[in-house]
Amino acid sequence: MTHVNPRWSWYWGIWALMGLYMASWDMAMYPSGSTLRLLMMNLLQNGTWGLLGLFLLWLANHRPIESFAWSQWKTWGLHLLASVAVAAFGLFLAYIISLLVQLGEWKKPLDMAMILKGLPRFYRSYFHTNLLFMWAVVAAFHGLRIYRKYKTREVVTAQLEARFAEAQNLALRMQLQPHFLFNTLNSISALVHSNPDGADEMISRLGDFLRATLDEPQGPMVTLRRELAFIQDYLAIEQIRFQDRLRVEVQIPAELMDLRLPSFILQPLVENALKHGLDDRPQGGTLYLRARKEAGNLVLEVQDDGDGYVAGREGVGLTNVRSRLGLLYKGTSQLEIMGTVGHGTLVVLRLPLEAAAGAGP
């Protein structure tokens, strides 16, 4: 349950402002009256109402009106009754205050007959306005309450969303690994007999690769340098597996190395390039990795010289990359796949530079 706990300086400040406002109203109506007296009277009256308002606040917190539903009629009734009572009692006190202030000026003692004589007229003049005023107070408390509730919910939703995105991100990354992992282990078991040095190399590369997937202290974004180191571990393993059929060319300017991008976003693209670009070709092929800055974007390119991508269903890897980009950049990034049959495939990934350069979106 959301409680309204107004800052007290604000609470009393607003009542004081109301007092000043009403004093100016009185001054306009009775230009002959003493300014000091009108000011004092109105401030005292509003202070009294402020005290009574605490009761309405308590009621708003403990018996809040939650909806317009019929089942809430008791609560509506309670608030109506309370506001009538507060308006009536508040008006009585206000009347006494105005009398006391006036009496100070008239220098006459207070007598009962006089009080009773003026009271009905005072009520006739002010009760309806005052009741309306109290309703405004009740409405203000409820408005504040709903606003607080909404704010809290918004914060909770945002937190949930962030956590969900993070979890999803993690799950998507994990999905990439098992295939590669088991195939690599199998290759190592072959290499152990035929090429012990190669097996050795592969084990240490695999170690680096696994370390990179396991520890990720920097959150969902990493520097291009780190991502590239990871890709190179991956490619080194694949190069041993493809045995000279795979050539790799990296063209990435050193000044781009500190730009940030989503972790492990390149690996599926490279994996795809190897799978669809090189696997079926006995003579092997070349993989190009390029990066550049262009029109506020970090542009990354993965190109192979294989058979060329034919539009059709996208594999798990690409679907994965797309959903992670969607989560992290919310539509401001772009992934394009261009292929011509017989002339290889070019994948172009554009990431907005502000997000790429900063601490991440």
Partner 1 sequence: MNLRALVVDDEALARQRIRHLLRRTDDIEVVAECANGLEAVKAIEDLKPDLVFLDIQMPELDGFGVVEAVGAEGMPPTLFITAYDQHALKAFEVHALDYLLKPFSPERFHKALERARRWCLQQPGMGPDLEALLAGLRQERPWVDRLLVKQGDRHVLVRTAALQWIEAEDNYVRLHVEGTSHLLRQTMSGLLARLDPAQFRRIHRSAIVNLDCIKEFQPWSGGDHLVIMRDGTRLTLSRTFREQFGEWL
| Token reading at 210 | 């696994």
Choosing from 132, 167, 170, 190, the residue that interacts with partner 1 (CB under 8 A) is: 190
Choosing from 120, 282, 331, 342, the residue that interacts with partner 1 (CB under 8 A) is: 282
Q: Any contact of residue 331 with partner 1 (CB under 8 A)?
A: no
Residue 341 · residue 307 · CB < 8 Å: yes
Distance of CA 324 to the CA centre of its chain: 18
Q: Any contact of residue 313 with partner 1 (CB under 8 A)?
A: yes
For residues 128 to 167, the per-residue mask of contacts with partner 1, x marking binding by CB under 8 A and - elsewhere, is ----------------------------------------
Three-state DSSP class for residue 183: helix
Q: What are phi and psi of 278, to 5 degrees?
A: -120, -30
Q: Any contact of residue 185 with partner 1 (CB under 8 A)?
A: yes
| Token reading at 337 | 């796949």
Element (H, E) at 241: helix 224-242
Three-state DSSP class for residue 42: helix
For residues 208 to 247, the per-residue mask of contacts with partner 1, x marking binding by CB under 8 A and - elsewhere, is ---------------------------------x-x----
Q: Which is nearer to partner 1, 26 or 279 (CB)?
A: 279
Q: Which region among 3-11, 69-77, 117-125, 191-199 touches partner 1 (by CB under 8 A)?
A: 191-199
Q: What are phi and psi of 280, to 5 degrees?
A: -85, 0
Residue 328 · residue 262 · CB < 8 Å: yes
Q: Which is nearer to partner 1, 33 or 284 (CB)?
A: 284
Q: Which is nearer to partner 1, 137 or 278 (CB)?
A: 278
Q: Which is nearer to partner 1, 152 or 183 (CB)?
A: 183
Q: Which region among 56-64, 114-122, 253-261, 271-279 touches partner 1 (by CB under 8 A)?
A: 271-279
What distance in Å separates the CA atoms of residue 250 and residue 148, rounded to the nearest whole number? 54
What distance in Å separates the CA atoms of residue 280 and residue 284, rounded to the nearest whole number? 8
Instruction: Give the type of residue at 29.
Output: M
Site residues, partner 1 (CB under 8 A) = 178-179, 181-183, 185-191, 193-194, 241, 243, 275-276, 279-280, 282, 310-313
